[in-house]
C-alpha cells in the first residue's frame, strides 16, 4: 500500500456520500463519468455515454479522460464536455481544485483507478459516487452503490448496473453493446492518401504486435512465421504492422524477420486518431487483447484475437461474432501473475497454423 493510499482516508468525510439503490435524477443537472485509463476501457464506456444521453438529453454529460487518448473521443456526439486527468497522484491536487469548483453531485467511476478516483470525487463534494465492481475496493464505504462483485461476462454488460442506479432499467438482451468511434474525414484522408502511395496488395492484413503488458503479447518468432506463411499463400496482400511509436522496436524485429517488401511497418507513422483510421482501412486485424482490438471492433474491422492470460468472454466482442474470431489457450502457471509476468509461457501455446486457419476464413 502506497503512502497516499494510507493517508488519504483520514481526510475523507464519512457521511457525505448518500447510500441508495436509486439516484434522484431530478436533482441532477450534470452527470460526470470518469474514464481516464486505457483506450479500450473508454471504448467499453461508449455504449454508456450513448444510453445516458438518450435517457437524459437535457442533462450535461461530462467525461473525465486521460490526456493521452482523449482526442479519439472528442468527436463523440453524446459527450458534452471532456475534462482531463491523468489519474496519477502528482496531478491529484490540481485536478481536485478544478473539479471542486464545478460542485459535482453525481460521479460514475466507469474506469478510473483508486485511491485517486474515489478520493477526488469525495473531496470535490459529490453526494453520489458509483463504482462497479467494488467488492475488493478499500474505498467502497464512500460508494453510493452496494458491494458489487465482478461477473464473468463481457465488460460492457457490467455497465448496465450503473444505469440501473440511475433509474434506467434495461435488460441485458436489450442493451446495445456496440462500441462507437466517430472519425474525422481529415484523419481518413491522411491515411488513405498515404496508403494509396505505398500499398501493393488488394488486401491489408494488420499485425498488432504490442500490447498493454507483456503477458498478453505473442512472440515475435510466431509473428514472423505467420507472416511468411501468409505471404507465401496470398501473394496479393500487404501485411501492415500497426502500433504506437513505443512499439517500433517490436515491429522492426518482425519486419526484418519476414524480410518481404509486402510488409509495411507503419507503427508510429500516424497520430492516435489517424491510427484508428488506419485500422478502419484493414481487411483484418490480428491482435492480442489490447486497445487496437477494441478500436477495430468499434469500426467494424474484422479481428482475430489471441488470448491466454485473459478470458475472451470478458473482452472479445460478442457482437458480429462472424467477424470477431479468437483463439483461447489455458493458463500454464498457477498462480498467474499477469501484469508482473516476465515470460508469457502461456502464449507459446498459440501456433501460427492455428491463426492461419482462421485467416483463411476471411481470405
Mean pLDDT calculated for residue range 32-51:
98
Tally of domains in the chain = 2
Is residue 145 situated within a structural domain?
yes
**Is residue 227 domain-shared with residue 354, that is, in the same domain?**
yes
**Is residue 100 domain-shared with residue 213, that is, in the same domain?**
no
State the sign of the Cα–Cα–Cα–Cα dihedral 135, 124, 70, 27: positive
**Is residue 236 domain-shared with residue 355, that is, in the same domain?**
yes
**CA within 13 Å, CB half, 309:** 26
Mean pLDDT calculated for residue range 33-62:
98
pLDDT at 3: 79
Q: Which stretch of 6-15, 50-59, 126-135, 250-259 has the lowest confidence by average pLDDT?
A: 6-15
pLDDT at 109: 98
**Is residue 85 domain-shared with residue 154, that is, in the same domain?**
yes
Mean pLDDT calculated for residue range 309-329:
96
pLDDT at 1: 57
Q: pTM for this one?
A: 0.95
Q: Which residue in the block uniquely carries the three cell numbers 499463400?
A: 233
Is residue 315 situated within a structural domain?
yes
Q: Over the chain, what is the mean pLDDT?
A: 96
Whether the Cβ atoms of residue 347 and residue 219 lie closer than 8 Å to each other: yes
pLDDT in tens, 269-316: 999 999 999 999 999 999 999 999 999 999 999 999 999 999 999 999
pLDDT at 280: 98
**Is residue 167 domain-shared with residue 235, that is, in the same domain?**
no
**Is residue 300 domain-shared with residue 234, that is, in the same domain?**
yes
**Is residue 23 domain-shared with residue 85, that is, in the same domain?**
yes
219: cell is 512472440
127: containing domain:
3-174
Is residue 184 situated within a structural domain?
no
Mean pLDDT calculated for residue range 20-38:
97
Per-residue pLDDT at 249 exceeds 70: yes
pLDDT at 4: 87
**Is residue 132 domain-shared with residue 68, that is, in the same domain?**
yes
**Is residue 162 domain-shared with residue 27, that is, in the same domain?**
yes
**Is residue 196 domain-shared with residue 258, that is, in the same domain?**
yes
pLDDT in tens, 49-95: 999 999 999 999 999 999 999 999 999 999 999 999 999 999 999 99
Is residue 319 situated within a structural domain?
yes
Is residue 182 situated within a structural domain?
no
**Is residue 169 domain-shared with residue 194, that is, in the same domain?**
no
pLDDT in tens, 113-144: 999 999 999 999 999 999 999 999 999 999 99
193: cell is 492518401
Q: In the chain, pLDDT over 90 holds for what percent of residues?
A: 94
Q: For position 343, which CATH number holds?
A: 3.40.50.2000
Whether the Cβ atoms of residue 284 and residue 359 lie closer than 8 Å to each other: yes
Domain boundary among 150, 174, 198: 174
**Is residue 205 domain-shared with residue 170, that is, in the same domain?**
no
Amino acid at each position: 500500500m502506497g503512502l497516499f493510499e494510507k493517508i488519504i482516508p483520514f481526510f475523507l468525510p464519512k457521511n457525505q456520500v448518500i447510500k441508495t439503490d436509486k439516484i434522484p435524477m431530478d436533482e441532477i443537472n450534470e452527470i460526470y463519468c470518469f474514464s481516464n485509463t486505457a483506450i479500450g476501457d473508454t471504448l467499453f464506456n461508449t455504449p454508456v455515454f450513448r444510453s445516458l444521453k438518450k435517457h437524459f438529453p437535457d442533462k450535461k454529460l461530462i467525461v473525465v479522460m486521460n490526456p493521452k487518448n482523449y482526442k479519439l473521443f472528442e468527436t463523440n456526439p453524446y459527450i458534452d464536455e471532456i475534462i482531463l486527468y491523468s489519474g496519477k497522484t502528482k496531478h491529484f491536487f490540481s485536478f481536485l481544485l478544478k473539479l471542486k469548483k464545478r460542485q459535482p453531485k453525481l460521479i460514475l467511476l466507469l474506469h478510473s483507478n483508486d485511491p485517486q478516483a474515489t478520493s477526488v470525487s469525495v473531496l470535490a463534494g459529490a453526494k453520489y459516487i458509483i463504482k462497479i465492481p467494488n467488492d475488493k475496493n478499500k474505498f467502497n464505504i464512500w460508494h453510493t452503490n452496494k458491494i458489487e462483485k465482478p461477473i464473468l461476462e463481457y465488460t460492457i454488460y457490467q455497465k448496465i448496473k450503473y444505469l440501473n442506479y440511475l433509474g434506467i432499467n434495461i435488460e441485458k438482451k436489450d442493451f446495445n453493446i456496440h462500441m462507437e468511434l466517430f472519425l474525422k474525414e481529415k484523419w481518413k484522408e491522411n491515411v488513405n492518401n498515404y496508403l494509396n502511395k505505398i500499398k501493393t496488395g488488394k488486401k491489408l492484413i494488420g499485425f498488432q504486435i504490442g500490447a498493454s503488458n507483456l503477458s498478453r503479447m505473442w512472440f515475435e518468432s510466431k509473428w514472423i512465421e505467420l507472416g511468411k506463411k501468409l505471404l507465401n499463400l496470398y501473394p496479393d496482400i500487404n501485411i501492415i504492422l500497426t502500433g504506437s511509436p513505443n512499439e517500433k522496436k517490436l515491429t522492426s524485429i518482425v519486419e526484418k524477420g519476414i524480410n518481404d517488401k509486402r510488409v509495411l511497418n507503419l507503427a508510429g507513422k500516424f497520430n492516435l486518431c489517424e491510427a484508428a483510421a488506419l485500422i478502419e482501412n484493414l481487411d483484418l486485424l490480428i491482435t492480442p487483447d489490447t486497445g487496437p482490438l477494441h478500436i477495430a471492433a468499434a469500426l467494424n474491422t474484422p479481428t482475430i484475437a489471441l488470448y491466454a492470460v485473459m478470458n475472451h468472454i470478458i473482452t472479445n466482442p460478442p457482437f458480429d461474432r462472424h467477424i470477431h474470431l479468437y483463439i483461447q489457450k489455458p493458463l500454464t502457471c498457477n498462480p498467474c501473475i499477469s501484469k508482473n509476468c516476465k515470460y508469457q509461457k502461456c502464449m507459446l501455446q498459440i501456433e501460427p497454423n492455428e491463426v492461419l486457419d482462421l485467416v483463411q476464413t476471411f481470405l
